[in-house]
Structure 1
Amino acid sequence: MATTTMTLRMDADVKRDAEALCKEMGMTLSTAFNIFAKTMIRKRGIPFAVTGSPSLYDEPNRSHMRAAMEELNAGHGREHELVETK
């Protein structure tokens, strides 16, 4: 079967982590993408659910925010530095 080259763009950290994971599984990133493409063709769609992250305004989040506001209003809040995570 003839092969072709495909170019795609992704974040460098994502590529590095994906290559490391593929190496642990004994394959290359190219092999992983071929598996993905063949599965997509066979299933006639993306082979996993593609969903958005929960909305800030979904009921579980609103419920959590209400409880946090009640706790803060009751004087149980505390100030802290903002910690950014990756």
Structure 2
Amino acid sequence: MATKSANLYARIEPEVKEQAEGILSALGIPASNAINMFYKQIILQRGLPFDVKIPSSRPIDMSALSEDQMNLEIEKGYADMKAGSAKTASKAFADIRKDYNL
């Protein structure tokens, strides 16, 4: 293994740093190791190891919808539920608690 002797200085939003380090701590991974893993993935992928793009859809501002538009969104959700492509709120929250060790 190569000696770790290079320094990296980066400015990051304090809240982002705190949240990420909390997750890394729960995983038992020091931030410096995570950064090293990220850089190695950049090398292996010959670019960022994830897509960097503007999402094709944005979250819907429910407060800006008319009653007809709101009903249409509710119908879409109901159709997703009936098709089995949605999970219950309790399952979603259980997954979040499991994923973030809450």
Alignment partner of 1:19 is 2:21: yes
**1:24, distance to aligned residue in structure 2 (A):** 0.6
> What is the aligned-residue identity percentage?
31
My pick for the range that moved more, 47-56 or 29-38, is 47-56
Q: Deviations over 1:60-81 (max 9, x none)?
A: x7xx9xxx3575xxxxxxxxxx
The gaps in structure 2 that reach 5 residues or longer are 69-102
TM-score norm. by structure 1 comes to: 0.61
Separation (CA, whole Å) in 2 of partners of 1:19 and 1:37: 17
> Which residue matches 2:47?
45
Runs of 4+ in 1 over 2 A off after TM superposition: 53-56, 68-71
1:21-57 Cα deviation digits (max 9, x unpaired): 000111111111110000110110100111124477x
**Bigger relative contact order, structure 1 or 2 (CA pairs below 8 A, ≥6 apart):** 2
TM-score, normalised to structure 2, is 0.52
Distance 1:69 1:22 in 2: 42
- Structure 1 partner of 2:38: 36
User: What 5-or-longer segments of structure 1 have no aligned partner?
Assistant: 72-86
Question: For 1:1-86, what aligned pairs fall within 5 Å after superposition?
Answer: 1-2=2-3, 3-54=5-56, 68-69=65-66, 71=68
Aligned with 1:49: secondary structure? Answer: coil
- Largest Rg, 1 or 2: 1
> Secondary structure of 2:44's partner?
helix
Name the structure with the higher helix share: 2
What amino acid is the match of 2:28? G
Tell me the amino acid that sits aligned with residue 22 of structure 1: L
